[in-house]
A = this chain, B = another copy of it.
């Protein structure tokens, strides 16, 4: 066989496998719960990418940010200007190492989650993103049981993405999809500054 023929045969096999998988696949009973965790880059940004996908199909999106309160970010500015399709809520107090007040952070996280719970249960959203919520659980501002109860009470049409490193094992068990972002190489490690429009 020539290289072209070998290639064709291989691609036909991949196509057949792909079609068989697609043919047998079904829609889920409820919209999916996705978790982006790990120490690498891409957890929040891929959630923002999925928002773009959802908006492209005319879907309605809610976002609750649990950590980056005061920080001016590109994503925030972009979706603010867009105005359409996205309801965006930010927990007001910023990084937990800047507030240094556990009680205050706990109250803020719980207020943010209470907002998230209403969004998830309302039936008005196709997608709700809980950005950096894993950090709030890691510092015990939020109990994992409360978060899972909130997910379980979501409307059937509502997908939820939860981001942040150190996802709780119970959340990983509950989720339909879990992707771990692993840091292979990071320029911060060689003393490079976080870049506007890339990192925030």
Contact = CB atoms under 8 A, between A and B. Distances in A.
B193 A14 contact: no
A47 interface: yes
Contact of A53 (B21, B73, B100): B73
B8 A197 contact: no
B188 A25 contact: yes
A91 interface: no
A73 B127 CA distance: 17
Q: How many copies does the complex hold?
A: 2
Interface stretch (A32-40, A110-118, A145-153): A32-40
Interface string A8-36: 10011011001001101111100110101
A56 B76 contact: yes
Contact of A184 (B46, B75, B102, B179): B179
A53 B27 contact: no
Contacts of A100: 7-8, 11-12, 15
A4 B198 contact: no
A126 interface: yes
A197 B49 contact: no
Contact of A193 (B25, B78, B139, B196): B25
A155 B26 CA distance: 46
Interface string A166-200: 00000010011111111111111001111111111
A75 B49 CA distance: 8
Nearest to A38: B182
8 contacts: A28-B187, A41-B177, A45-B45, A52-B78, A56-B79, A126-B197, A178-B184, A182-B182
